[in-house]
Amino acid sequence: MASRPAAQILRQASRQVSRQFVPAVQKRTFVSAVSAARAAPKAAVTASFQQSRGVKTIDFAGTKETVYERADWPQEKLLEYFKNDTLALIGYGSQGHGQGLNLRDNGLNVIVGVRKNGDSWKDAEQDGWVPGKNLFDIDEAINKSTIVMNLLSDAAQSETWPSIKPLLTKGKTLYFSHGFSPVFKDLTKVEVPKDIDVILVAPKGSGRTVRTLFREGRGINSSVAVYQDVTGKAQEKAIALGVAVGSGYLYETTFEKEVYSDLYGERGCLMGGIHGMFLAQYEVLRERGHSPSEAFNETVEEATQSLYPLIGANGMDYMYAACSTTARRGAIDWSKRFKETLKPVFNDLYDSVHNGSETKRSLEYNSQPDYREKYNKELAEIDDLEIWRAGKAVRSLRPENQK
């Protein structure tokens, strides 16, 4: 389909939507839909909330699920709930940074534990954590804490487990942001002590987004789960911690389901799959004589700048409605063929996650001493692909990038 400026798509979307989708979308225009998009999900589900003691059952397309929300845990309640706790944030990477600063801004007693010679120590100091006051090495931080939040990289969780496990004494709580280490314990060797609560809050986004949404007064969606409940309070503690680190809504799951869906999703539509689709489409266009700019615009620029935001704001039908009838006819037809072709690949991927192959590969690769250099080399190779070099030129023409 032809690339059209966003404003044109917006106008067409609003015309088509109000003409054709009146009952379904209540005469949404795209502009109003986008401006309301942040509030919309809540408004849309409010009608189907069934609330009892702060727990909400929400009907997700016919399946009832339990969701917890930040509104049930105002800051005063969090401060009261954690008044006797010291939270040790072990690791200060993407999640450590986001969750740690949110906990600190919420007024909780949080300390950071990282190795002294690493980059994270310097990063933490730059963010105002003070050595000897609320910044310690890992062992010392764990010893001072009641709640240990293991936010090391997944490979590092496995590597450091022999020294961390003996410090996890009775009465402490162990917190993860990924089910990876305990679920794949045969490979990671992370066998948790039997006498402590083990819980999970997994934000569905990067640590940077955890922080940004919190600062905007919103919250990220997170999964919440209990692996081991010794005190009978594990679930409640996990939900409270989820809110304290910056979650807006917490969706109930298990450690297993969280890790399987997470590894699967990032290898699929979220990252690997979409990169593969971009490359395949771009290469065919180039091999068939199209220019780099045309191939890039038809593959990436229009997707990320125009069409995917429409899906994000109001769904796939809304995106289709915003496009020409020519585009719509072809896209609906071809979506079936893509689904049939790709589904076996997705099944292979799920098997590879479920049987531990992905975990094994990740642990082996990410435990190598030179893993950062190797990634940097791979990322430089991606950066150097023609498609992404063409993308730089296209982005340089955006008004905001022109002086």
Ligand X SMILES: NC(=O)c1ccc[n+]([C@@H]2O[C@H](COP(=O)([O-])OP(=O)(O)OC[C@H]3O[C@@H](n4cnc5c(N)ncnc54)[C@H](OP(=O)(O)O)[C@@H]3O)[C@@H](O)[C@H]2O)c1
- Contact by Cβ (8 Å): 201, 247: yes
Which of 115, 144, 354, 360 is close enough to bind ligand X by CB under 6 A?
115
If one asks whether residue 119 binds ligand X (CB under 6 A), the answer comes out as yes
| Catalytic residue of the set 178, 275, 290, 354 | 178
| Tokens at 44, concatenated | 């849309």
If one asks whether residue 373 binds ligand X (CB under 6 A), the answer comes out as no
If one asks whether residue 156 binds ligand X (CB under 6 A), the answer comes out as yes
Q: Look at the alpha carbons of 268, 274, 280, 281 in this order and tell me if their dihedral is positive or negative.
A: positive
Only one of the segments 13-21, 150-158, 234-242, 374-382 lies at the binding site for ligand X (rule: CB under 6 A); that segment is 150-158
CB nearer to ligand X: pick between 203 and 248: 203
**Rounded distance, CA 391 to CA 387, Å?**
6
CB nearer to ligand X: pick between 50 and 163: 163
If one asks whether residue 297 binds ligand X (CB under 6 A), the answer comes out as no
Which x/- pattern, by CB under 6 A, does the window 384-403 give for ligand X?
--------------------
Tell whether 302 is in a known binding site: yes
CB nearer to ligand X: pick between 104 and 178: 178
Residue 97 annotated among the catalytic residues of the structure = no
Query: In whole angstroms, how far apart are CA 103 and each of 81, 88, 187, 244?
Result: 13, 11, 32, 6
If one asks whether residue 222 binds ligand X (CB under 6 A), the answer comes out as no
User: 166: closest CA among 188, 195, 137?
Assistant: 195
Tell whether 298 is in a known binding site: yes
- Contact by Cβ (8 Å): 313, 9: no
Only one of the segments 57-65, 114-122, 291-299, 349-357 lies at the binding site for ligand X (rule: CB under 6 A); that segment is 114-122
Residues numbered 183-212 forming contacts with ligand X, rule: CB under 6 A: 202-203, 206-207
Only one of the segments 152-160, 225-233, 248-256, 394-402 lies at the binding site for ligand X (rule: CB under 6 A); that segment is 152-160
SS3 at position 370: coil
Sort 188 into a burial class: Cβ within 10 Å, 0-12 / 13-18 / 19+.
buried
What is the end-to-end Cα distance of the chain in Å, rounded?
Answer: 31
- Contact by Cβ (8 Å): 231, 224: no
Which of 16, 120, 253, 297 is close enough to bind ligand X by CB under 6 A?
120
DSSP secondary structure of 147-198: EEEE-S-HHHHHHHHHHHGGG--TT-EEEESSSHHHHTHHHH-----TTSEE
Which of 134, 160, 188, 228 is close enough to bind ligand X by CB under 6 A?
160
CB nearer to ligand X: pick between 90 and 323: 90
If one asks whether residue 173 binds ligand X (CB under 6 A), the answer comes out as no
Tell whether 301 is in a known binding site: no
CB nearer to ligand X: pick between 14 and 160: 160
**Rounded distance, CA 203 to CA 318, Å?**
27
Q: What is the dihedral of CA 354, 269, 100, 195, to 10 degrees?
A: -10
Which x/- pattern, by CB under 6 A, does the window 53-92 give for ligand X?
--------------------------------------xx
The helix (run of H) or strand (run of E) holding residue 113 is: strand 110-113
At 42, phi and psi to the nearest 5?
-65, -45
Binding footprint of ligand X on the chain (CB under 6 A): 91-96, 114-115, 118-120, 151-154, 156, 159-160, 177-178, 180, 202-203, 206-207
Binding-site residues for Mg(2+), in ranges, read 262, 266, 298, 302
Query: What residues act catalytically?
Result: 178
Binding-site residues, in ranges, read 262, 266, 298, 302, 324
